[in-house]
Structure formats: C-alpha cells, structure tokens
Amino acid sequence: MTKPATLLRDPARDAPVGAGVAVLIPCHNEAVTIRHVVEAFRAELPAARVYVFDNRSSDETAAVAREAGAVVIEELRLGKGNVVQSMFRQVDADVYVMVDGDDTYPAEAVHRLIAPIRNGEADMVIGSRLQNASKSEFRAINRLGNRMYLFFLRRMFSIRISDLLSGYRAFSRRFVLGTPLFSGGFETEAEMTIRALARRFRVTEVAVDLRSRPAGSSSKIRIVRDGLVILGSMFALFRDYRPLAFFGGVGLVLIGLGLIPGGVVIADFLRTGLILRIPSAILAVGTVLSGLISIVMGIILHVIAQRFRELDANLQGLAEQIRRGGETGEGPR
C-alpha cells in the first residue's frame, strides 16, 4: 500500500505525515492479523514509529510484526493493563495512538483521532464504536456490557461518553506522562478514561466502525471474569475519586435500614412510654451509628482527596513549566 508523494507530507505542519507519532499495539497471540495492522498504520502514518508490545505470545506474532516493520518490545507480565503501563513508561512521542492488534479498528480513522491532540483540543480521543455515526460489528454481549458500564459511569461520575472500553485511542504527551495507571488487565481502558475525566483532562470521542475479528483469530477477553474485574475497578475508582458520595451513600443506606427496627421501638415508646423491644433498639442504634461513622469517614476522605487534587494540579503545572523550560532552554520561573 503505497501513497502518492503529496500525501506523505502534512501541509498544515510542513512535516512528514505521522512525525512524532507513536502507534502502540498490545498483542497476545495475534499472528493472523498483526501484519495487516502494522502495514495499515505504516501506510497511513509513514513517519510514525509503530511498536508492538508482545506478551509471551506462543505463535509467530513477534516475528511477523518485526517483518512488517514494527519495533517489537517484549513484556513479561501478562495482561493488557500491564502492557499499557509499559508502553507509557518506555515510549517517548508527541502523540500516542493505541490500537488493538486484532485488526478490528480502521487505520484510516487515525487522522481524525490525532487531529484534536495536535490542535491542542484534547488530551485523549476515544475511537467510539457506539456513536450513532458508527456502524460497528459489535458482538451483542459486548454491546450489552458496554451499556451497563455507561449506566454506572453516568450515575457514579456524571460522565457522558458513548464508549468506555474502546481499545482505539489517541493521547497527548501531557496525559501519558501525567497519568499513573495501575490496572493489570482489560480494566485498563475504564481506568484511563475515568482518571482522565476525574483529573480534568480533556476527552473527546470520534466515531469509528468496528470490524469483526477475522476467522482464525481468537478473543482474549473472558466476558464474565473480565466483566466483573472492570466493574470492580469502576467501583474502586468511584470510592477513591468521590469518597463522600460512596461512603455517604453507604451511610444513608445503613441509617435507612436502622430506622426500620428503630421506628418500631420509637412507636412503642410513644404509645406506652416504655422500651419494649431491647434487641430491636440495640440493632437500630448499632446500624444508625455505623451509618454515621461511614458518613464521617466520607467527609474526612473527601477533604483529603480535595487536598490531593490541589497538590496534583500544582504538580501538573510544575511539570508543564519544566517541560516548556526544557523546550526553550529556561528553567521553571
């Protein structure tokens, strides 16, 4: 797939198309598809560097990727999240593009993903498979799972996006350097999206059409197990980023439950002037107190989280200054 010479230069930037871009492809046993993915991205972005992060594949993935012109980096810890952490640590670029090695995402769409990062309009661009404009061949079970996560996402974080789990994204350097990720597996996409939005990075979506995996290539995701891990990690992030809503919510539920036996005891007392059901009274006091403790915990953690947010914003500002200083030769002011 060769392109006419005029297309090899980006007139807006007067640089070769794809200069400063790193295409990152996590792979585990994708020998059937990886050649096409690497070649398609090299054709779209001739000046970009294409990296395949291979995780102990038992097939020919690494050799095929190398032959197709990718830089192959071995990662020993299994799991997509571990690979994403490695990619972010090891690769230096102006714009990062991440895409699956299973040839399900269209390489042609990469320019639309990169543009908002180049223009400084976004720090993360998600290639959404679920926007109305996209006619994705999405497995029904994945579509359903995605809907459920979006439902929780809206309730927990008031975040409105259409595809939480897309594996096709572009990132700014600022985001990659400034966002620590900890997930080991397929929950990594949920983690990066939530962290980005919770930390006020700018996130946009562009519609892309998903293709089915070609015959002979197999999915790495285990729907139930990975689905539960993703949900668990969303709750953990909810607890960390919105502790008052999390612990306050738990507290209110406990107080509500405590009021059931408590209400009976109070009604008895109003009627007879006596506490007739001692066990119910003890249960009510215990449950309501637990609820209050949970709310107080929520308030304390909320204040701490708020302080850390300020610290985080200051650190990001400082990092930005140092980076700019590095570019202009001046130190931080």
Ligand X SMILES: Nc1nc2c(ncn2[C@@H]2O[C@H](COP(=O)(O)OP(=O)(O)OP(=O)(O)O)[C@@H](O)[C@H]2O)c(=O)[nH]1
Q: Which residues bind ligand X (CB under 6 A)?
A: 26-28, 30, 53-55, 75, 78-80, 83, 100-102, 104, 139, 142, 167, 213, 219-221
**Binds 221: which of Mg ion, ligand X, none (CB < 5-8 Å by kind):** ligand X
Contacting positions for Mg ion (CB under 5 A): 100, 102, 104
In the complex, minimum distance from the CB of residue 74 to ligand X, in angstroms, rounded to a whole number: 9
Question: For residues 104 and 294, which CB has a smaller minimum distance to Mg ion in the complex?
Answer: 104
**Binds 105: which of ligand X, Mg ion, none (CB < 5-8 Å by kind):** none
Question: For residues 44 and 54, which CB has a smaller minimum distance to ligand X in the complex?
Answer: 54
Residues 102-127 as b or e (16 or more Cβ within 10 Å = b) = bbbbbbebbeebbbbbbeeebbbbbb
Nearest to 182 by CA among 89, 87, 97, 85: 85
CB 171 within 8 A of CB 96: yes
What tokens does 59 get?
């097939």
In the complex, minimum distance from the CB of residue 183 to Mg ion, in angstroms, rounded to a whole number: 17
**Binds 122: which of ligand X, Mg ion, none (CB < 5-8 Å by kind):** none
CB 72 within 8 A of CB 253: no
**Binds 298: which of Mg ion, ligand X, none (CB < 5-8 Å by kind):** none
Which are the contacts of 50, defined by CB distance < 8 A and separation ≥ 6?
Answer: 22, 23, 25, 38, 41, 42, 69, 70, 71
In the complex, minimum distance from the CB of residue 186 to Mg ion, in angstroms, rounded to a whole number: 10
In the complex, minimum distance from the CB of residue 205 to ligand X, in angstroms, rounded to a whole number: 17
**Binds 83: which of Mg ion, ligand X, none (CB < 5-8 Å by kind):** ligand X
CB 70 within 8 A of CB 33: no
In the complex, minimum distance from the CB of residue 174 to ligand X, in angstroms, rounded to a whole number: 25
**Binds 205: which of ligand X, Mg ion, none (CB < 5-8 Å by kind):** none
Terminus-to-terminus CA distance in the chain, angstroms?
Answer: 49
Question: For residues 79 and 248, which CB has a smaller minimum distance to ligand X in the complex?
Answer: 79
Question: For residues 26 and 291, which CB has a smaller minimum distance to Mg ion in the complex?
Answer: 26
Question: For residues 167 and 251, which CB has a smaller minimum distance to ligand X in the complex?
Answer: 167
* Residues 46, 21: Cα–Cα separation, whole Å: 10
In the complex, minimum distance from the CB of residue 105 to Mg ion, in angstroms, rounded to a whole number: 8
CB 138 within 8 A of CB 130: yes
What tokens does 104 get?
């399900």
* Residues 194, 238: Cα–Cα separation, whole Å: 9
Question: For residues 208 and 244, which CB has a smaller minimum distance to ligand X in the complex?
Answer: 208
Question: For residues 28 and 118, which CB has a smaller minimum distance to ligand X in the complex?
Answer: 28
In the complex, minimum distance from the CB of residue 53 to ligand X, in angstroms, rounded to a whole number: 5
Using CB positions, name the residue nearest to ligand X: 219
For strand 124-128 and strand 95-98, is the pairing parallel, antiparallel, or unpaired?
A: unpaired
Q: Assign 54 to helix, strand or coil.
A: strand
